[in-house]
Amino acid sequence: MHTTTLRVASNAARTWRCDSSIGRLAKPTVRHIGSTTPRPATALPITATGPPPSAPIPTSSQYGDRVDERRRKAQLLQQGKELRNTQSGKKTSPLKKRFWKDVHIREVPEGYQVYLDSRPVRTPTKAILTVPRSKPHLAHAIAIEWDMLENAQQALKNHNIPMTSIVARAQDIMEAEARGDTTVRDEIITVAMRYLDTDTLLCWAPNQTSDFAATLEKQKDRPSTLRDLQIKTAMPIISYLKTSVWPGVEIRPVLDEHTIMPAKQSEVTRSVIQGWMAGLPAWELAALERAVLAGKSVLIGTRLLIEWSEEFRDLQRSSEKRFGIEEASEAASLEVKWQTGMWGEVEDTHDVDNEDIRRQFGSAILLISGHR
């Protein structure tokens, strides 16, 4: 194709000649590259009769219909795999099958238990998973998790059963302390205190004083800097914790404006917070652990815990807007949201993290909320 084009262009160039008598160039001769005779398109007659068909109307399926359809497709897929394994002589792992058909809840004197047919759901220590009587919604959430699983192998991943895993964690803490073993509690407190040293809510960005930063702020039409937004978000949470949860403690930013090295809280503050964690019930301690790991913040996790726990009804303010999943997620991911708003979002990364942190905070709320 390229060789033919160059040859034609060369031939066309040779046809130009200079007429010395009149001092101008002659026009090149016209040569057609294609040799196919053009033919007009043939329009076919319209043979359809009657009015056009109506547009399809989508039907809104219920939760049960979606679950049944998903289960049916999973069974067909599993049957195909088993047939191929049988023909090839391979043995199918029992974990790749769903050995239960029905998931239901049984009420016992201790509370609620979730059963897979006749088998109860158990913790990693082989104890029967039992939800307190004041948390029926939590038992139903666990039942939905197991009803959505397609095989037993999926239950080995904690992200597939977040409510089951956090309830098992709380029950393990409670059973260990009933035996006089506080190892699990001490480990949770140690990890949480490490997060306090670099708490997300206390890591404020330095003031932007360069000309480039000022120009960038002006281009993006942002009314305030990242540091201003961080302080505006953090101060109501810090004020609430200093007045209602840890009265008299001093909570200060862990990053100074002129250094990147984090500064630890005072020994008095650390002692008060550590002692408060040591007195938390097992269910609240498990919820705090998940919230701290999700938001990388002890302060955000504590604020969420106080707002929703049935153990702290006396500290909850009914007249104000509740501190929920959205507020906790916004506080924990404020800097990420600021940066993605300025430079753009990475698909399948920032959006996934945004949904995952909400899932983690939601599981903590479900664990500690209830009625007495």
Q: Where in the chain are the domains?
A: 103-176, 182-368
Provide, rounded to the nearest whole percent, the portion of the chain with pLDDT above 70. 80
Of 328, 330, 332, nearest to 308 by C-alpha is 328
Measured between alpha carbons, how far is 100 from 140 in angstroms, rounded to an integer? 17
pLDDT in tens, 95-127: 667 888 899 999 999 999 999 999 999 998 899
pLDDT in tens, 347-371: 878 888 989 999 999 999 999 998 7
pLDDT for position 104 = 94
The CATH superfamily assigned to 103-176 is ATP12-like (3.30.2180.10)
> Hey, is 133 helix, strand or coil?
coil
Classify 182-368 by CATH class: mainly alpha
In the predicted structure, residue 12 carries a pLDDT above the cut 80: no
Q: Which two tokens stand for residue 25?
A: 């160039």
DSSP state of 324: -
Contact criterion met (CB below 8 Å) for 321 and 303: no
pLDDT for position 79 = 78
Measured between alpha carbons, how far is 105 from 258 in angstroms, rounded to an integer? 57
pLDDT-based confidence at residue 152 (cuts at 50, 70, 90) = confident
For the question of whether the overall pTM of this predicted structure is more than 0.85, the answer is no
pLDDT-based confidence at residue 240 (cuts at 50, 70, 90) = very high
pLDDT for position 241 = 95
pLDDT in tens, 248-304: 899 998 876 666 777 889 999 999 999 999 999 999 999 999 999 999 999 999 999
Strand partners, 119: 116
In the predicted structure, residue 162 carries a pLDDT above the cut 80: yes
Q: Which two tokens stand for residue 355?
A: 């949904």
Of 147, 109, 141, nearest to 128 by C-alpha is 109
State the SS3 of 94-132.
Answer: HHHCCCCCCEEEEEECCEEEEEECCEECECCCCCECEEC
Measured between alpha carbons, how far is 278 from 188 in angstroms, rounded to an integer? 10
Measured between alpha carbons, how far is 341 from 206 in angstroms, rounded to an integer? 19
pLDDT in tens, 319-331: 678 899 999 999 9
